[in-house]
Amino acid sequence: MSRNGSPSHSRRDSGHSFGSNNQSNNHSFRPRPSGLPSSSGGGGGGGGGRLNTQRVPSIASQHQHQLQASNQSAGHSATRSLSLLLGRSVKLKLIDGSPNGGEKWVEGNLWCYDPITGVVILDSPGSGKGKQTFRMVKVNQVREVQLGEPIESPPPAALVSKILEPVRPINVTAIAMREAQAVKADDARRARIGHGVSRWAQEIFDALGKTLPVRWHQTSIIILDDVMLSGPQYRPEDVKVSGNNSARLARVRQVLEGEWGRLLRTEEGRQMELEARLSSSKTAATTTPVT
């Protein structure tokens, strides 16, 4: 074998590999018509396989992306200087977000603008006198901003004075009086709650307290300062009066009988009265001496 035999044989093999008889390679190197996507398989005719539709965006999808990009660009350019309009009257053109792409206008004083959350708040007069309405609007919904009136860029000090209301002086004496009244009212409310008494006793106390001055003395109810109603059942016959004031005794018993009748007409009242009687029976059993 000559020294040149091996390279010559290699060249012939290489030329044979890319010859016209190799159908697969002919398909691989055939140029595609311009504007058509690559086929997913061979088959002759320059693209006999199925089109890869996942890689071909529809015209409607391209139009939608362009519209969204246009809206975002318009909204960004319209809201870049919102912080300079605080306290001013503005009109905002909003994107409705409906499939038809509708738009609407909202108007009011620019009360707040938060670029972090992307929210603006408009302040406008409410339905009633002296009432205000606040509307929150997302910045990405704003397509256009118009001024309610021609303005010049105010100095920061003037802007703050327009936005922030002046702090009025605080009347410390009035606050102390309100605090004392609140504490007194809470003490009175707590004093009307019995300690160590049944639900029935508390209901009787609250019922009598609607028409008569009452207070607790341990588990007994003091009425009109000289009448005492003892438990645990708090019956009309349990009413005692100091001295010989029979008129006051009769009055308290009459009111108590009326409250008893009213409470016993309800299921909850009968249940509470039964609990009081059972409690009374247990107390009597434990206090009876054993002979």
Q: Which structure tokens are listed for 190?
A: 């707590």
Domain boundaries, given as residue ranges, for the chain: 64-163, 194-285
What confidence score (pLDDT) does residue 113 get? 87
Successive 10-residue mean pLDDT values, the chain, 291 residues: 46 44 46 46 46 46 47 51 79 75 81 88 76 85 78 54 72 94 94 91 93 93 92 90 87 92 91 86 55 44
Rounded-to-integer distance, Cα 74 and Cα 262, Å: 72
Rounded-to-integer distance, Cα 260 and Cα 19, Å: 116
135, 91 contact by CB (below 8 A): no
User: The whole model's pTM is what?
Assistant: 0.41
List pLDDT tens digits, range 227-244: 999 988 899 999 999 888
Rounded-to-integer distance, Cα 58 and Cα 211, Å: 82
List pLDDT tens digits, range 168-195: 888 999 999 999 999 999 999 999 999 9
197, 217 contact by CB (below 8 A): no
C-alpha distance from residue 213 to each of 207, 237, 240 (Å): 11, 20, 16
Which CATH number does 64-163 carry?
2.30.30.100
C-alpha distance from residue 266 to each of 204, 262, 263, 276 (Å): 14, 8, 6, 16
What confidence score (pLDDT) does residue 204 get? 93
What confidence score (pLDDT) does residue 78 get? 55
Rounded-to-integer distance, Cα 113 and Cα 134, Å: 13
DSSP for 171-207 reads: -HHHHHHHHHHHHHHHHHHHHTS-SS--HHHHHHHHH
